[in-house]
Amino acid sequence: MRTNGKITEIFSSVQGEGIYFGEEQIFVRFFGCNLNCKYCDTSLNYFTEYTPEELLHEIKLYKNASSTVSFTGGEPLLQKYFLKAALKLTRKEGFKNYLETNGILYSALEDILDYVDIVAMDMKLPSSTGHKDLWHHHQRFLEIASKKETFLKMVICKDTTEEDLRAGLKLIEEVNKFLVLVLQPNSFEADEPSSEKLESFKDIAKKCGITTCVIPQLHKKIGVK
């Protein structure tokens, strides 16, 4: 299916989240999201339409800066057909494809996974997001994503409960306990979660045998995009 993509911005910067923090990447921010998490700090009020070929042209302008393209959002998997076409082109040009996703649209992931190198999957804890639980969606998504290099992120807020953390850890244990879990403090809150809470959550995860680290949003700490 031929379709244009709705893209909010394209830029080069350092990855500010997860286990690849500090790595230079080219960012393609997709317009639109199927969630509205209460901690979200990304405002998507505009977009430009691109064909896959036009997007590749823009990406190649930054190639000297990085060989990794981060497809982020919003939620890229909402634009599955365009995303798949773009991933094919960037893969052919020798780029490494890095997908940032909220970890829900598992059918879309299955369709494009062959062209993805790294999956950075969010696990949405209800007490963090303000949504109902999404465990079933996350389980199916993680089962599929685990076929490629994958790591998980949980945003931890001052209201995040230990009960939700343990539910997420149980799911990870059942699907793939060898993945790295990143606990990401919510820097969008005026009152961030305490270091004691983060260390306590980290210890709980480690006792479950899950490799866990606390990594804040680096780009906000150093003042880059």
Answer yes or no: are the C-beta atoms of 52 and 82 closer than 8 Å.
Answer: yes
Which domain, by its residues, includes 51? 5-222
Give the distance, in angstroms, between the CA of residue 158 and the centroid of all CA atoms in the same chain: 21
CATH number at residue 81: 3.20.20.70
Long-range contacts of 53-59 (CB under 8 A, 24+ apart): 53/89, 55/5, 55/7, 55/10, 55/28, 55/86, 55/89, 56/86, 56/89, 56/90, 56/93, 58/10, 59/10, 59/26, 59/28, 59/90, 59/95
- Say what the pTM is: 0.93
Return the pLDDT at 45.
Answer: 85
Q: Which residues of the chain fall short of a pLDDT of 50?
A: 219
Return the number of other C-beta atoms located less than 10 Å from residue 29's C-beta. 19
Strand ranges (DSSP E) for 129-221?
149-156, 180-185, 212-214
Return the pLDDT at 225.
Answer: 57
Return the pLDDT at 200.
Answer: 96
User: How far apart are alpha carbons 16 and 116 in whole angstroms?
Assistant: 20
Measured in Å, how far apart are the chain's first and last C-alpha atoms? Answer: 33
Return the pLDDT at 157.
Answer: 92
- Count of domains in the chain? 1
